[in-house]
């Protein structure tokens, strides 16, 4: 059985006249399919994000230096985890196509291989990261106190990379198979454990040692390790047609690593990982520029980034649903259904992003006060948040189109577009800061670039969709408007 499901390449795209209206789904059915994936994904990502938010709040009590140091370490971790998304993204897309083509055994094989390769690749990265933590932190140019905090956090966080990589793979595989609830429930349990441990270890409560910022890293490590154990156990028993164990009790029997599976996964995953690396690298460069403005600017950036991540969550959840459902639809040779999914998630993501952006805009100062009581950080963050929120609707639209492109097995286009957009913004930020601009002014660079990136991603999605028959010749991007015009005439 081939690793790559057939039926979604350009040459094998179905004739639109043969799929016709019967390929479409009832709007109510489609809405339920999207929400069954998007809502648990939203819950999972919200809880995962809450791990960092809780740690940020707890660490902020230790002062601006602790907050800035933890922020720098977390920025490095985003870079590393982006490199590991290759297996997660590739496995998720291929599992989605396998499920759509009614080949659950192929999905199981891909899941096993992805877990094996994630372990093999992440262990050397973790060792190198632990040994080189000091050198990595030095590139930020932080003040000595903040640099020491960053080093202690980063050593522990780097040691947890194999756990994080396998946890990402497990969640990606299940979402590709159509099960978003299991990752959400597991993350919920991890979140509860993390809150209790972080509170105890940072400040030394309940008889625990007072470890400061390092306690936050240790709490996250323990919580995610327990989450991985739970996820692997559940997948061994079988979830959404994916089972990691042969039918011999609950003993896990993995297949040996296979290069053909690795090539198939990495063919899709490497460009997606490169995209995340490009974006994370751009954020790292942005953070390094901000760090040179001062400790207060770095601390404010850390807090505002946490707020931005919350606003970004609904769009991210809808993007996950888009990728999975588009992949399943094309695996089942239903390109018009893929179009239906994308159209609905685009509209939902844009609407939610606008609403949340307005709320944050109006409540910027009270939101900042939830994280810190430092007046300077609150004032700077309250001025920056409204500018940041101008980018959110455009980013929400952009990631929906990138999600559809990934579902169509095009991971190159999002990489190219995001690379150009993000690094253009970083170049503009550098110019602004070099000429005396602060954190708030720097964010206007992203406001200028975001609409252009959104337009480019939309255009590329349209071109790719036409090749696969997801758009019929002459159709507009807004078919409902066209229908009203016909009825009115």
- In angstroms, the CA 167 to CA 225 distance is 8
The yes-or-no verdict on residue 18 having pLDDT over 60 is no
Answer for the pair 60, 372: CB distance below 8 angstroms, yes or no.
yes
- In angstroms, the CA 379 to CA 365 distance is 7
pLDDT band at 16 (very low <50, low <70, confident <90, very high): very low
Closest CA to 372 of 436, 295, 447, 438: 295
This prediction has a pTM of 0.64
Please tell me which residue, 388 or 102, carries the higher pLDDT value.
Answer: 388
Alpha helices in 101-237 (DSSP H): 104-131, 133-138, 144-159, 161-177, 181-203, 213-237
The yes-or-no verdict on residue 476 having pLDDT over 60 is no
What pLDDT is stored for residue 19 in this prediction?
40
- For 103-142, how does the pLDDT look when each residue is reduced to its tens digit (9 = 90+)? 667 767 777 777 777 787 788 888 888 888 878 777 777 7
Answer for the pair 19, 334: CB distance below 8 angstroms, yes or no.
yes
What pLDDT is stored for residue 242 in this prediction?
67
What number is the average pLDDT over the span 415-428?
Answer: 89
Please tell me which residue, 116 or 423, carries the higher pLDDT value.
Answer: 423
pLDDT band at 310 (very low <50, low <70, confident <90, very high): confident
Ramachandran region, residue 24 (left: φ > 0; alpha: ψ -120 to 50; beta: rest): beta
- In angstroms, the CA 240 to CA 107 distance is 10
The yes-or-no verdict on residue 404 having pLDDT over 60 is yes
What pLDDT is stored for residue 52 in this prediction?
66
What is the DSSP code string of 2-41? -SSPSS-SGGGPPPHHHHTGGGS--HHHHHHHHHHHHHHH
Answer for the pair 18, 278: CB distance below 8 angstroms, yes or no.
no
- In angstroms, the CA 93 to CA 98 distance is 9
Identify the weakest region by mean pLDDT among 126-135, 349-358, 417-426.
Answer: 126-135
Identify the weakest region by mean pLDDT among 6-20, 402-416, 447-461, 468-482.
Answer: 6-20
Strand (E) or helix (H) holding 459: helix 444-468
What pLDDT is stored for residue 138 in this prediction?
79
Tell me if residue 239 falls in helix, strand or coil: strand
Query: Which of 56-60, 269-273, 450-454, 477-481 has the largest mean confidence?
Result: 450-454
Please tell me which residue, 322 or 277, carries the higher pLDDT value.
Answer: 322
Ramachandran region, residue 239 (left: φ > 0; alpha: ψ -120 to 50; beta: rest): beta
Kindly list the distances between the CA atom of residue 419 and the CA atoms of 210, 275, 329, 416, in Å, as whole numbers in the listed order: 42, 7, 28, 5
The yes-or-no verdict on residue 51 having pLDDT over 70 is no
What pLDDT is stored for residue 24 in this prediction?
55
What number is the average pLDDT over the span 231-258?
Answer: 62
Burial class (CB in 10 A: 0-12, 13-18, 19+), 25: middle
What pLDDT is stored for residue 478 in this prediction?
32
What pLDDT is stored for residue 455 in this prediction?
92
- In angstroms, the CA 166 to CA 172 distance is 10
**Average pLDDT score, the chain:** 75
- In angstroms, the CA 144 to CA 14 distance is 62
What number is the average pLDDT over the span 17-33?
Answer: 59
- For 430-455, how does the pLDDT look when each residue is reduced to its tens digit (9 = 90+)? 998 888 888 888 889 999 999 999 99
Please tell me which residue, 250 or 224, carries the higher pLDDT value.
Answer: 224
- In angstroms, the CA 318 to CA 264 distance is 25
pLDDT band at 86 (very low <50, low <70, confident <90, very high): low
What pLDDT is stored for residue 307 in this prediction?
85
Answer for the pair 165, 122: CB distance below 8 angstroms, yes or no.
yes
Looking at the chain, the whole-number percentage of residues with pLDDT higher than 70 is: 76
Please tell me which residue, 166 or 239, carries the higher pLDDT value.
Answer: 166
The yes-or-no verdict on residue 172 having pLDDT over 70 is yes
The yes-or-no verdict on residue 277 having pLDDT over 80 is no
What is the DSSP code string of 193-215? HHHHHHHHHHHT-TT----THHH
The yes-or-no verdict on residue 15 having pLDDT over 70 is no
What number is the average pLDDT over the span 168-174?
Answer: 79
DSSP state letter for 251: -
DSSP state letter for 254: P
What pLDDT is stored for residue 99 in this prediction?
66
Annotate 366-376 with b (16+ C-beta within 10 A) or e (fewer): ebbbebbebee
pLDDT band at 477 (very low <50, low <70, confident <90, very high): very low
- In angstroms, the CA 86 to CA 129 distance is 19
The owner of tokens 């639109």 is: 16
């Amino acid at each position: 059985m081939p690793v790559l499901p057939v039926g979604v390449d350009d040459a094998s795209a179905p004739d639109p006249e043969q799929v016709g209206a019967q390929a479409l789904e009832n709007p109510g059915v489609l809405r339920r399919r999207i929400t069954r994936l998007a809502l648990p994904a939203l819950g999972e990502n919200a809880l995962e994000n809450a791990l960092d938010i809780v740690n940020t709040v707890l660490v902020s009590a230790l002062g601006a230096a602790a907050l800035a140091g933890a922020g720098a370490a977390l920025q490095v971790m985003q870079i590393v985890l982006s490199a590991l998304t290759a297996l997660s993204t590739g496995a998720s897309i291929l599992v989605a196509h396998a499920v759509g083509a009614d080949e659950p055994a192929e999905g199981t094989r891909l899941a096993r291989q992805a877990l094996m390769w994630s372990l093999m690749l992440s262990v050397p990265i973790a060792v190198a990261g632990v040994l080189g933590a000091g050198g990595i932190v030095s590139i930020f140019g932080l003040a000595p106190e903040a640099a020491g905090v960053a080093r202690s956090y980063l050593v522990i966080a780097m040691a947890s990379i194999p756990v994080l990589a396998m946890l990402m793979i497990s969640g990606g595989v299940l979402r590709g198979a159509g099960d978003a609830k299991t990752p959400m429930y597991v993350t919920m349990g991890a979140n509860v454990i993390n809150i209790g441990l972080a509170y105890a270890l940072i400040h030394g409560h309940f008889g625990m040692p007072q470890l400061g910022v390092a306690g936050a890293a240790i709490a996250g490590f323990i919580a995610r390790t327990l989450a991985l154990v739970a996820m692997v156990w559940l997948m061994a028993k079988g979830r959404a047609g994916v089972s990691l164990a042969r039918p011999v009790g609950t003993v896990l029997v993995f297949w040996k690593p296979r290069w053909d599976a690795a090539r198939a996964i990495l063919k899709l995953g490497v460009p997606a990982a490169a995209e995340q690396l490009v974006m994370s690298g751009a954020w790292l460069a942005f953070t390094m520029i901000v760090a040179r403005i001062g400790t207060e600017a770095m601390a404010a950036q850390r807090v505002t980034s946490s707020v931005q991540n919350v606003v970004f969550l609904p769009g991210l959840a809808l993007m996950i649903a888009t990728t999975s459902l588009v992949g399943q639809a094309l695996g089942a040779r239903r390109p018009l259904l893929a179009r239906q999914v994308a159209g609905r998630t685009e509209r939902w993501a844009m609407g939610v992003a606008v609403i949340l952006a307005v709320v944050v805009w109006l409540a910027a100062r009270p939101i900042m006060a939830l994280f810190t009581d430092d007046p300077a950080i609150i004032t700077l963050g309250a001025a920056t948040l409204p500018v940041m929120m101008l980018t959110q609707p455009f980013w929400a639209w952009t990631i929906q189109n990138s999600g559809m492109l990934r579902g169509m097995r095009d991971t190159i286009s999002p990489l190219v577009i995001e690379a150009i957009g993000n690094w253009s913004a970083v170049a503009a930020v550098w110019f602004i800061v070099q000429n005396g601009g602060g954190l708030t002014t720097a964010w206007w660079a992203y406001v200028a670039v975001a609409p252009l990136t959104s337009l480019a991603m939309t255009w590329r999605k349209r071109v790719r969709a036409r090749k696969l028959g997801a758009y019929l010749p002459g159709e507009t991007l807004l078919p409902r408007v066209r229908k009203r015009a016909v009825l009115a005439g």
